[in-house]
């Protein structure tokens, strides 16, 4: 284990006063003060970046994105995992299924989609959080290794998500899932996938109103620091957090260049759920944003827009935290508390 990893492992046990001294002068943005443990990670990032060669190939970019794997929180005990390949309509894709203690034949389910700008990371990036959801929600959680860009053209990932929705409904009985209690969840780009799926499934249901078989709807949507607009503007959090750990404006521009080459599909409805003119009659939403995050404002705006047209919304802005905080529970007590709160809120929507 490297010296840096030893420091990271010890951060939660070090007295807060000493952690603050290690972090240095507090980082403040828009009235928020960064959690000092996250600030230490930010400092380490800056130290490692000094004089380093920036990743250029897609393999190098993805390897850098997987750096969070090394500091992941150990998975909760008692949660059973199964690594499978699912024969979806779009492709045969890897997935991990998490089962809670005392799983039954009629558990609720959560379909989870990972972060990474639709370009990097993988279905195990948020492994600890998925296990947490399974435990607290007493639900089966399925996280999908959806197809990434640029190898696959947008909106391949969303098509995979919709195919997973269909598959889980078709296989609900052998999977031991209650079809009436299936929620969608995701962070960052995974929040994009989950939010768009809610809109698409609502529209399908409206189109099928006169048909005998109803289109099933999600029981809830959990969107964590969601990416819900392709617009990169010189205002608000996009400007004030442009150089923030771990998501920078430059990284967002790299994502856009790979997902929307030459701006192809950049204005696609499925890339911009925030700008949908009809946000009514969507599933209950739990939306979490972070103070130190370029996409903070668009997530806040989406929460406000959903609530303004009568949707049930629970909205948190965790001011001390940064983008990708689901990966930081090992070092930050505020992250763990935030994650547990989000899991409890989702559990309530699933009747748990």
The gap between the terminal CA atoms of the chain, to the nearest Å, is 39
Told to judge if 209 belongs to the known catalytic residues of this protein, a careful annotator would answer: no
CA gap 214, 333 in Å, rounded: 43
Q: Give the start-end residues of each E strand in the chain.
A: 28-29, 32-33, 80-87, 92-99, 107-113, 140-144, 177-187, 221-224, 285-292, 313-322
Q: Please give the helix or strand (H or E) that residue 315 lies within, else none.
A: strand 313-322
Cα 234 to chain centroid, rounded:
24
Among candidate residues 42, 188, 195, 322, the one labeled active-site is 188
Catalytic residue among 322, 323, 324, 345: 323
SS3 274: helix
- Whose tokens are 């959690």? That residue is 35
Using DSSP bridges, classify how beta strands 221-224 and 140-144 pair: parallel, antiparallel or unpaired: unpaired
Half-sphere exposure of 98 (CA within 13 A, CB side): 30
Closest CA to 186 of 335, 287, 303, 302: 287
Identified catalytic residue from 135, 145, 293, 297: 293
246 contacts: CB under 8 Å, gap ≥ 6: 41, 42, 45, 68, 322, 323, 324
Q: At what angle are helices 36-49 and 3-10 packed, to 10 degrees? A: 170
For this structure, is 275 an active site residue?
Answer: no
Residue 202 CA to residue 294 CA, distance in Å, equals 29
Alpha-carbon separation of residue 36 from 27, 320, 344 (angstroms): 8, 9, 26
SS3 content of the chain, % helix, strand, coil (to 5): 45, 20, 40
Q: Rounded to an integer, what distance in angstroms lies between the CA atom of residue 108 and that of residue 223?
A: 18
42 given a catalytic annotation = no
Among candidate residues 102, 91, 96, 155, the one with its CA nearest the CA of residue 122: 96
What is residue 260's three-state secondary structure? coil
The closest of 320, 326, 274 to 299, measured between CA atoms, is 274
Active site residues: 188, 293, 323
């Amino acid at each position: 284990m490297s010296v840096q990893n030893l420091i990271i492992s010890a951060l939660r046990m070090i007295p807060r006063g000493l952690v603050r001294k290690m972090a240095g002068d507090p980082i403040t943005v828009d009235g928020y003060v960064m959690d000092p443990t996250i600030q230490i990670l930010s400092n380490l990032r800056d130290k490692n970046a000094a004089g380093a060669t920036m990743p250029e190939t897609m393999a190098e970019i993805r390897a850098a994105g997987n750096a969070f794997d090394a500091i992941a929180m150990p998975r909760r005990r008692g949660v059973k995992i199964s690594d499978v390949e699912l024969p979806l309509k779009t492709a045969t894709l890897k997935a991990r299924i998490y089962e809670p203690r005392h799983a039954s034949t009629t558990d609720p389910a959560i379909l989870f989609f990972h972060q990474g700008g639709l370009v990097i990371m993988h279905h195990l990036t948020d492994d600890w959080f998925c296990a947490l959801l399974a435990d607290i929600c007493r639900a089966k959680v399925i996280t999908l290794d959806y197809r990434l860009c640029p190898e696959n053209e947008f909106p391949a990932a969303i098509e995979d998500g919709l195919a997973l929705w269909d598959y889980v409904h078709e296989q609900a009985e052998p999977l031991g899932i209650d079809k009436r209690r299936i929620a969608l969840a995701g962070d960052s780009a995974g929040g994009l996938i989950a939010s768009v799926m809610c809109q698409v499934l609502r529209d399908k249901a409206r189109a099928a109103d006169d048909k005998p078989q109803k289109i099933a709807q999600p029981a809830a949507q959990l969107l964590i620091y969601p990416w819900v607009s392709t617009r990169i503007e010189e205002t608000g959090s996009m400007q004030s957090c442009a150089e923030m750990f771990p998501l920078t404006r430059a990284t967002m521009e790299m994502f856009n260049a790979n997902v929307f080459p030459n701006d192809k599909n950049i204005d696609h409805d499925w890339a911009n759920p925030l700008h949908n003119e009809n946000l009514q009659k969507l599933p209950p939403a739990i939306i979490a944003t972070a103070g130190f995050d370029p996409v903070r404002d668009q997530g806040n705006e989406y929460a406000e827009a959903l609530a303004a047209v009568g949707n049930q919304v629970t909205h948190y802005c965790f001011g001390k935290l940064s983008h990708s905080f689901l990966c930081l529970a090992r070092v930050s007590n505020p992250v763990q508390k935030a994650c547990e709160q989000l899991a409890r809120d989702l559990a309530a929507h699933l009747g748990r």
